[in-house]
Amino acid sequence: MAYEPVTTTHRTTFQNNVEMALGIMSNPFEPYFTLQPNLSGKQTQMIEYVSNLDPIIDGARGGPTPSAEFMHELVWCKPRQIEQGTTIEKEDEIKRTISPQSMYVKGIAQSIMRGRRQIMLESIFGPRLVGPDGQQVATAYSATDGVNLVLKDFVRSGAAANSGLTFDKIIKGRTLLVGSEVDITEEKLCLALTHKQEFDLYGLVQYLSKDYREKTVVDEKNKRVLNFLDIDFIRVNQLPLAEAGVRRLPLWCQSAMHYGDFSPMETQLDRDPGQKYRLRPYGENWFGATRSEDRKVIEIRCVE
């Protein structure tokens, strides 16, 4: 008996079900990144950052027309491929393979989503591609104490001492964002932390002053602080290390981070003649993310 043929209907159903599975999966970064639609090409200009210019007030009567030099920076983004697939080792019914409950549908969707999360995470502290068209240069994230860096030994007062995550460190990071002219009343703010910093922070809630405690959202059941001073916390256990035993926590505003699809999620379902004509489900997504400005991403260092 011949193998069941893979039809256009089978492929379309497989595509739709993978998209549906992907659509209901959560990505903790998406609400705190800015979506850039319709990306295309080997690389694309994601944003154009224009620096602030001081206004001319009470200029000289009859004086020359102002001719200021507008400082701007083009920020680019390259697409990165995310893919996943497998060879089904035994003859399986195609309808079972392409169904919404299929482990192949769910597995490919989960893998694509994990790839998106990883790319977005890496973009927070990763290099930016900046410069005019054809002359782009990858520039590393630059952290400067008092500008966009909270040191591991920061304390509000007294002698510096290494510590884990504290509310004072978060307040300091928020203050640095304000100093970088981030409108914290309009922007979404987010702090990514691991389960270890969650533990540190929850243990300090009881020591907060009444005013700060009223501005703190706590999940008592799971012993987690969810929000402090309008900063949302998301758990990301893969955060990088600054050095052995010192974690780098990013605090950022939504306008600092950008992401988008360079091509929509695509799937394929075929029989592979090189693998005894076994079914080969496959999925691919071209995706990118980048940071606009270093000063809008605060690095908080915490000892673990």
Q: Is the pLDDT reported for residue 119 higher than 80?
A: yes
Q: How many domains does the chain have?
A: 2
Beta bridge partners of 149: 145, 299
Residues 101 and 250 in one domain: no
Which residue(s) pair with 268 in the sheet? Answer: 282
Shared domain for 216 and 203, answered yes or no, is yes
pLDDT at 49: 57
Q: Report how far residue 37's alpha carbon sits from residue 266's, in angstroms, rounded to the nearest whole number.
A: 17
Quick one: average pLDDT of 141-157?
96
Determine which of 53-67, 127-141, 161-175, 193-207 has the lowest per-residue pLDDT on average: 53-67
Q: Stretch 136-162: mean pLDDT, rounded? A: 95
Lowest mean pLDDT of 24-28, 135-139, 150-154, 285-289, name the range: 135-139
pLDDT surpasses 60 at 1: no
CA 261/CA 115 separation, integer angstroms: 12
Q: Clarify whether residues 154 and 226 are in a common domain.
A: yes
Please indicate, yes or no, if residue 60 is contained in any of the structural domains: no
The answer to whether residues 251 and 266 belong to one domain is: no
What are the DSSP E strand ranges found in 126-222?
A: 128-130, 137-139, 149-150, 189-193, 216-219
Q: Are 84 and 107 in contact (CB under 8 A)?
A: yes
Same domain? 200 vs 239: yes
Percent of the chain, pLDDT > 70?
Answer: 94
76, two tokens: 């680019």
Q: What number is the average pLDDT over the span 138-151?
A: 96
Within a domain: residue 62?
no
Is the residue at 161 inside a domain?
Answer: yes
pLDDT at position 50 is 54
Residue 39 in domain? yes
* Together in a domain, 131 and 173: no
Between 82 and 49, the more confident residue is: 82
Please give the average per-residue pLDDT across 178-205, as a whole number.
95
Domain co-membership, 35 together with 124: yes
Average of per-residue pLDDT across 90-99:
83
Angle between helices 103-125 and 8-23 (to 10 degrees): 50
pLDDT band for 248, please (50, 70, 90 cuts). very high
Higher pLDDT: 44 or 166? It is 166
Quote the CA–CA distance of 106 and 103 in Å, as a whole number: 5
Lowest mean pLDDT of 37-51, 157-171, 182-196, 267-281, name the range.
Answer: 37-51
161 and 182 in one domain? yes
Q: What confidence score (pLDDT) does residue 282 get? A: 97
Helix then strand then coil, % of the chain, to nearest 5: 30, 30, 40
Residue 225 has pLDDT above 90, yes or no: yes
CATH of the domain at 97: 3.30.2400
**223 inside domain:** yes
How many Å apart are CA 258 and CA 130, to the nearest integer? 14
Backbone angles phi, psi at 143, to 5 degrees: -105, 125
pLDDT of 299 reads 98
Q: Is the pTM of this model over 0.95?
A: no
Give the whole-angstrom CA distance, residue 167 versus residue 121. 23
What is the SS3 string spanning 51-92? Answer: CCCCCCCCCCCCCCCCCCCCCEEEEEECCEEEEEECCCCCCC
* 126 shares a domain with 13: yes
Rounded to whole angstroms, how far apart are CA atoms 169 and 184?
Answer: 17
- Tell whether 119 and 150 lie within a shared domain: no
Residue 64 lies in a domain: no
What residues does 217 pair with on adjacent strands?
Answer: 227
Whether 27 is covered by a domain: the verdict is yes
Residues 89 and 154 in one domain: no
**Of the ranges 34-38, 161-165, 169-173, 252-256, which one carries the lowest mean pLDDT score?**
34-38
Per-residue confidence (pLDDT) for residue 161, from 0 to 100? 96
Q: 3-class DSSP state for residue 267?
A: strand
Q: Tell me the pLDDT band of 249, cut-offs 50, 70 and 90.
A: very high
- Rounded to 10 degrees, what is the CA torsion of 11, 15, 16, 20? 150
**Domain match, 25 and 85 both:** yes
Examine residue 2 and state whether it is found in any structural domain, yes or no: no
Range picked from 36-45, 133-142, 161-170 for highest mean pLDDT: 161-170
Domain residues for the domain of 30 are 8-51+73-136+258-291
